[in-house]
Copies of this chain bind each other. A is one copy, B any other.
Amino acid sequence: MTFAYKYPRPATTVDCIVFGLDEDELKILLIQRALPPFESHWAIPGGYVNIDESLEKAALRELEEETGIGNVFLEQLYTFGDLGRDPRGRTITVSYYALVNLFDHIPHADSDAKNAGWFSIDNIPPLAFDHNKIIDTAIARLQGKIVYEPIGFELLPKKFTLLRLQKLYEIILCKKLDKRNFQKKILRMDILTQLDEIQKDVSHRAARLFQFNHERYLELKKGGFVFEL
């Protein structure tokens, strides 16, 4: 059975850049393709959009199918549609990016993938299709966005120390920040809940744990507050 149209149509895919924060590096989840084209090449997870599912649903489904990851922060990134970006024929891809807690997700290859793994963004191999370009776009977006929207928390566990949060910004923005100034700034915003809990299993004085207060943030935002680092 085939589907026929009066005019030729590009194929439509979704691709998903998954960011995770390792101890000292920002990483991206890649899969190794099991099938041509670009068999054995590394690529970002993605696939064809079904005719009866929304773009976001398609992105979530592909993510789940290829990496087992679900229930994550997901946002549309950009749509790439240049001629020749897919050797199988004209294909446009709607890309999404996701932020996950890397330690919650041990990559395992699922359908269509012979392998999966986290790659440091400083060490991305040549990828299938125009995926290197997509990743560059995603990194730029992430760097732009974390300074004016509180999305960085999505990369951390629920409870975290202020130093860990600071490291997150340092890693993503590629620049050192001053500890005291950072803490003053972020605490002044009043969007973090200080917990009655401290770090465990560290070989030095244990730090206070904090939690992002999403409800508080929404309240403040309604009143005109804008997160800005």
Contact = CB atoms under 8 A, between A and B. Distances in A.
Interface of A: 2-12, 48-49, 51-55, 76, 78-79, 81-83, 90, 92, 94
B52 A83 contact: yes
B6 A9 contact: no
Contacts of A90: 51-52
Contact of A79 (B52, B53, B55): B55
18 contacts: A2-B4, A2-B5, A3-B8, A3-B9, A4-B5, A5-B5, A5-B11, A7-B48, A9-B9, A9-B51, A10-B12, A49-B81, A49-B92, A52-B90, A54-B82, A55-B79, A55-B81, A76-B78
A37 to B, nearest CB: 16
A74 to B, nearest CB: 14
Contacts of A53: 83
A3 B76 CA distance: 30
Nearest to A49: B10
A3 B49 CA distance: 19
Contacts of A94: 79, 81, 92
Q: 9 tightest CB-CB pairs across the interface, nearest first?
A: A55-B81, A8-B51, A2-B4, A4-B4, A9-B9, A3-B8, A79-B79, A79-B94, A54-B82
Contacts of A81: 12, 49, 54-55, 94
Contact of A12 (B2, B12, B83): B12
A7 B12 contact: no
